[in-house]
Structures are given as structure tokens and as C-alpha cells.
Amino acid sequence: MSEPLPPQPSRGWYPMPTDPGLERYWDGKTWTEKVRVQRGQGRFIALIGDSRMRKWFALVAIALVAIVVLVNLPKAKNSPQESQIPEACTSLLTHDWYELNAREFAHDPDVSARKANAYYLDTFIDDSSKYSNTDQQFIDVLVALSIPLNEMSSAIQFEPAAAAATKTDIEFKNLAEYCATAGVESEAPVLSEATDNSSEVDSQEQARIPEGYTDNQEGIAYKLIPSESCGGSQFGCTTLEIFAYRDCARGVKVYANFFDANGQEVARTDADSEPLRAGQSTALMLSTGLSTAATATPNQFICQ
């Protein structure tokens, strides 16, 4: 004999065990497709309780998290051209460039310092691994700057070195103008002759410059003696008398051009004096190995 069936619940709305927050209708015999939000529950809570809606909400949550992560990611680095040019400009414009100093010219520290200028820039240009992707105009500006820098470093006499330094100053201005377009504002370096010297002009001694001397306004006055007074030298020579109104602890360096009887330049020469204190004078013989050289005209005095 079979056991009697348990009593069936009366028709009505009953909570869905698999979907909290929702109710399904029981018609007294079977479960229908009618579903509603459980009484006392908000619409949003009911939706969250729906297993089908939970999947949708999970996808939405993942998408929102992805958006937040993307928005907060660090910005990608600038392209090589955008990031390297300002960096390069700052390095070049703030570098400790050696300024041409007439009082140090032709001495070993000066020669190596001038060569260091050219070497720094040439190495900078050749550093292809770091700057190969920069703007070609930037490279062109650097190449234009390297030409007078190398001329300045290889000059044997002061006059061409000073001319090259002046050209270098112009190219540095061009570099500074280019760098300004890349957002780097800086003063252009100036390498033309520096005037720093610990020896000050003695104004009292300057007032005592002997008659007939020419003042070069930088601590030296000079007088040329005709070439026939050069002790019977078979070559062109000129005696140069020097009066110092500035202390020249290592003497005076003189550069001069020689001209023939027709006024044509035929040679250049230089000479060094003994150390001089303000108020002292000395004489130098400027000579060349050319019989056609007549008289010399000094173009540069360096109180060392």
C-alpha cells in the first residue's frame, strides 16, 4: 500500500530559493513562469539577487575597473624627439664652456681647455645611441656650432682664435633660439675673450706712460723702434719697447704682423718678455727669417 502524498501548498507567491529577492507564483499544482520582486525588497536588491543579472553586473564592474586603471595609468613617455631635445638643450646651454682668455692663450691649460670645448660638442653630436632620433634641424644647429669651436681650439695665434670665438657666440645664440622653441629658455653662452685677471690696472702708473708710447687700454703701452736699430740683423726686425701699468707676473706675450716695403703682410711672429710689475718697462726684438720683412705692427699684447 503506497504512502499518501504530502499536502500541496495553496496557490500563491513564494520566495525563489535560487534567486533571493524574487518570488514565483504556485498555482496549486505547479510553478508558473510568473515572477515578481519579493514584497519589501527594493528593485535594485532584487536585480542583484537574480543570478542572470549578477553576471551582467559582474561584466559592468570589470569594465568600470578597466576604465579606472586606464585613466590612472602614467602617461606614456614622449617620443624621442620630444623628450631628448629639451634634455640636450639644457645640457648644452648650461655646460661649463671655456671662455677664450687672451691672458691664457697659447699656454697648455688654455690649449687643452679650448680643445675640450670642441671635443665635448663633437662627442655630443656623435652620440647616436642617444640623439639619433632628434630633429634634423637640431643636429644642423649643432654642426654649425662645432665648426667655429674647432677653429677656436686649433688656432695658433690669438687673432684667429678670437674671430672663431665671435662666430661661436653667434652660433650659440642660434642654438638658444632653437631651444626656446623646444621649451628651454636659457641665456646663450659667450666664449669671446674673457677679461678676468687678478691684476688690476694701476691708474697712477698709467698716468706715467712715457711720451711717444701707445696705450692699448689693457695694461700695456708700447713704442716701435725703426728696424735699422736692430743690431745689424740681416732679417726683418723691429724693436718693441713695452711699459706695463698692470702687474704681468709671467711677462707680456706679444703677437705681431710683419710687412714688406710695399705694405704687404709677409710674416707673423710672437715674443715673450720677462715678468713685469706695474711701472716697469722692457724691450723686445721682433724678428723673422725673411729678408723681405721690414717693420712689424703688434696686433695683440697679453699681460700674463
pLDDT tens, residue by residue, 209-258: 999 999 888 789 999 876 655 555 556 678 889 999 888 888 888 888 88
What is the end-to-end Cα distance of the chain in Å, rounded?
134
**pLDDT the model gives residue 77:** 46
Long-range contacts at 72-80 (CB < 8 A, ≥ 24 apart): 79/133, 80/133, 80/134
Closest CA to 278 of 210, 198, 195, 203: 203
**pLDDT the model gives residue 198:** 46
d(C-alpha 287, C-alpha 284), whole Å: 10
**pLDDT the model gives residue 72:** 64
pTM of the predicted model as reported, rounded to 2 decimal places: 0.45
d(C-alpha 153, C-alpha 52), whole Å: 81
Domain residue limits, the chain: 12-72, 80-181, 203-303
Strand order in the sheet with 281-287: 214-215, 220-225, 237-244, 281-287
Contact 14, 23 (CB under 8 A): yes
d(C-alpha 100, C-alpha 114), whole Å: 7
| Domain 203-303 = CATH 2.60.40 | yes
Q: Can you give the pLDDT of all 304 residues of the chain as single tens digits?
A: 556 666 677 888 888 777 767 788 888 888 887 777 776 555 544 454 555 555 655 666 677 766 766 666 655 444 444 568 888 889 899 998 988 877 677 666 688 888 889 888 888 887 755 665 667 888 889 999 999 999 998 888 877 888 899 899 999 999 999 999 988 998 999 988 665 444 577 888 888 999 999 988 878 999 987 665 555 555 667 888 999 988 888 888 888 888 877 888 888 888 888 998 889 999 988 877 677 777 788 888 888 7
d(C-alpha 277, C-alpha 246), whole Å: 7
